[in-house]
Amino acid sequence: MPPAATTAASLALDVTSGLKTRDLEDLYQDLHRHPELSFQEHRTAGLLAERLRSAGFAVTTGVGGTGVVGVLHNGDGPVVWLRGDMDALPVTETTGLAYASTVDGVMHACGHDMHVTWLTFAAEALAAARETWSGTLVVIGQPAEEAGGGARAMVADGLHERFPRPDAVFGQHVAPGPAGLVAHTPGLIMSAADDLHIVVPGVGGHGSRPEATVDPVVTAAYIVTRLQTVVSREVAASDAVVLTTGQFHAGQRPNIIPSEARLGLNLRTQDVNVRERVLSAVRRIVEGECQAAGCPAPPEVSIGASFPATVNDADLDAEIAALHRELFGAGSVIDFGPAMGSEDFSLLVPTGVPYDFWFVPSTPKDAWQAAAGQELSQKITAVPANHSPLFAPDLSVLLPGVRTLVGAALHKLAA
């Protein structure tokens, strides 16, 4: 154990001092070249599992499908979980990077390759410095965050029963913003999200005889238009809500009126009561428009992937933010405020266990300086962000991202 006067921040610097930037870049670029979609992360999981075994972890693979869990017991003490997600997105990369994706139509457009790199090197650094801490470190490579089912699948596969119960859980996410900072928000940091699937029934027929049909395309179009009033007229201006129609599918030929139309919606909310109010409004509008159109059957409205809000333990977040401030200097920690983005990170955490989740901004310095706007919020909208085919985190955040995780773990394990 370290002397009492040694802080977790200074210890984290010592523990990671031997890491070589080239080694971090090699793993990151390899992962970026070989992205894998949700629940297909076999290569990524294999690489993580191999590195963890080599570092001395007891490794379990196939948790929740393609999940990886590494456990390192190192004497008595607290249990800390570190989590990183592994999956990529169905996005065609246009960054022009020398290490761009080699998989057609698939890209690490959300930075999960960065997350796996951080997790791997943090685990290895902590394993190599066992003499500085005591307790149990659990490293989790989670599948399918993007699909919304990865955390649930791991929990359903016994994550909470098969592995040591944590005293604290930590995670982080790469994000747009000036590289060199860390973004902490106590309490609510990410919103709840729901995917809604709507089927609008109609009566199909020939395009020359619309009077013999019930056109679901027209009805669905009215639904899309009317849904725009939910946020603007049914929700208080002080409530943060986003309702997006991201899918509209109907028909096969221009001269055939289809027998149904399908809509895909995405809802983001930060309050449980507001969520229920919006869901009720969506159902009311869909049913009302279908009734007005004379649809032959009631519409179908179902909820698909669903993410809860991510709510940091305020005290733990304050402690980790202070640690990161000590790591990187005064002014290095900022607060983005609650984001409308969503995560399934909190679903991994057993009930009653405190957790902390933060962002690591990663926009290259030249791109950030060239971005239009004066305010932070304006500039963030002007640079490539997560899910963009142009998203390319700056490599300068590789080592700092390892240190943020190592520092958080040591805050508990070396106390």
Cβ contacts of 131 within 8 Å, gap of 6 or more? none
Q: Is 50 a catalytic residue?
A: no
| H, E, C per residue of the chain | CCCCCCCHHHHHHHHCCCCCHHHHHHHHHHHHHCCCCCCCCHHHHHHHHHHHHHCCCEEEEEECCCEEEEEEEECCCCEEEEEEECCCECCCCCCCCCCCCCCCCCECCCCHHHHHHHHHHHHHHHHHCHHHCCEEEEEEEECCCCCCCHHHHHHHCCHHHHCCCCCEEEEEEEEEEECCCEECCCCEEECEEEEEEEEEECECEECCCHHHCECHHHHHHHHHHHHHHHHHHHCCCCCCEEEEEEEEEECCCCCEECCEEEEEEEEEECCHHHHHHHHHHHHHHHHHHHHHHCCCCCCEEEEEEEECCEECCHHHHHHHHHHHHHHHCCCCEECCCCECCCCCHHHHCCCCCCEEEEEEEEECHHHHHHCCCCCHHHHHCCCCCCCCCCCCCCHHHHHHHHHHHHHHHHHHHCC
What region does 226 belong to: left with phi over 0, alpha with psi -120 to 50, or beta? alpha
CA dist 203 and 316 (Å) reads: 57
For residue 153, what are its two tokens? 């699948």
Q: Which of 36, 87, 317, 344 is catalytic?
A: 87
> In sequence order, which residues have a C-beta less than 8 Å from that of residue 381 and are 6 or more positions away?
373
- Asked whether the beta carbons of 150 and 80 are under 8 A apart, the reply is no
Q: Annotated catalytic, 145?
A: yes
Residue of 36, 113, 145, 195 marked catalytic:
145
Structure tokens at 157: 């596969």
| Residue 265 identity | L
- What are the catalytic residues? 87, 145
